[in-house]
């Protein structure tokens, strides 16, 4: 299929989904101008994504939105896309954040995902690409090496130490309440 046709189809799908989401969009209580901004922003992300995908002749992902759970590590993560490029495994994480910048949070996520993938599939990923869907220089690769994997192990250890308690009061909310529905009370 030629790129133009694929783009058309992609945008048609997007518009349909956007329309279907009218009720939830309205429930956000945003001003029309803000909704327009997010529509344009999302549109631009799709444009950037399709441009990147075709310009670099990207393969279809081996896995998409893969929920990976490791009993060994007691760790779960959802990996947006797993690509196989010349026998090398690349994990892709799509971000819709405002700024296209690799933050400390992202570095932590990357280290844990590398560890998780390695434990589950016994293959060390070559890199994790952070795709902000914003700029021509996207995605920004983070190379996986021994140091990154070690960092992941230290993080896991420290998380584990901080999450031994079963008492909810030991986990004060810092996210503005999103976690509320994810707390399992016994
Ligand atoms: Zn919270």
Question: How far apart are the C-alpha atoms of 100 and 98, rounded to whole Å?
Answer: 7
The CA 163 to ligand 1 mean position distance, Å, reads: 15
Confidence check: pLDDT of 180 > 80 = no
Which residue has 């994997």 as its token pair?
Answer: 149
Contacts made by residues 93-97, CB under 8 angstroms, sequence distance 24+: 93/128, 93/129, 93/130, 93/131, 94/131, 94/133, 95/130, 95/131, 95/132, 95/133, 96/45, 96/133, 97/132
The CA 173 to ligand 1 mean position distance, Å, reads: 4
User: What mean pLDDT value characterizes the chain?
Assistant: 90
Instruction: Give mean pLDDT, residues 66-71.
Output: 92
The CA 174 to ligand 1 mean position distance, Å, reads: 5
Q: Which two tokens stand for residue 171?
A: 């986990």
The pLDDT, as a whole number, for residue 176 is: 81
The CA 175 to ligand 1 mean position distance, Å, reads: 4
The CA 182 to ligand 1 mean position distance, Å, reads: 9
The CA 145 to ligand 1 mean position distance, Å, reads: 32
Confidence check: pLDDT of 6 > 90 = no
What's this model's pTM, rounded to 2 decimal places? 0.82
The CA 35 to ligand 1 mean position distance, Å, reads: 25
The pLDDT, as a whole number, for residue 185 is: 57
pLDDT tens digits for range 114-141: 999 999 999 999 999 999 998 877 899 9
The CA 103 to ligand 1 mean position distance, Å, reads: 20
Least confident of 57-61, 100-104, 154-158, 173-177: 173-177
The CA 177 to ligand 1 mean position distance, Å, reads: 4
Q: Which two tokens stand for residue 40?
A: 């344009």
Domains of the chain, each with CATH number or no CATH: 3-55 (no CATH), 63-182 (3.90.320.10)
**Number of Cα atoms under 13 Å in the Cβ half of residue 47:** 9
The CA 155 to ligand 1 mean position distance, Å, reads: 20
What percentage of residues in the chain have a pLDDT greater than 90?
65
Confidence check: pLDDT of 186 > 60 = no
Question: How far apart are the C-alpha atoms of 133 and 140, rounded to whole Å?
Answer: 10
In SS3 terms, 122-139 reads as: CCCCCEEEEECCCCCCCC
């Amino acid at each position: 299929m030629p790129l133009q046709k694929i783009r058309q189809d992609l945008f048609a799908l997007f518009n349909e989904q956007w329309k279907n989401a009218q009720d939830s969009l309205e429930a956000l209580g945003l001003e029309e101008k803000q909704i327009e901004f997010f529509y344009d922003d999302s549109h631009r992300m799709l444009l950037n994504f399709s441009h990147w995908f075709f310009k670099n002749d990207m393969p279809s992902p081996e896995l998409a939105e893969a929920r990976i759970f490791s009993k060994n590590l007691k760790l779960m993560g959802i990996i947006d896309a797993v690509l196989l490029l010349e026998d090398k495994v690349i994990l892709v994480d799509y971000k819709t954040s405002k700024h296209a910048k690799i933050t400390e949070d992202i570095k932590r996520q990357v280290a844990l995902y590398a560890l998780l993938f390695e434990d589950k599939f016994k293959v060390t990923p070559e890199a994790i690409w952070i795709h902000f869907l914003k700029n021509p220089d996207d995605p920004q690769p983070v190379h996986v090496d021994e140091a990154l994997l070690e960092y992941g192990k230290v993080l896991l250890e420290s998380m584990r130490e901080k999450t031994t308690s079963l008492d909810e009061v030991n986990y004060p909310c810092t996210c503005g309440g999103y976690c509320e529905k994810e707390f399992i009370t016994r």
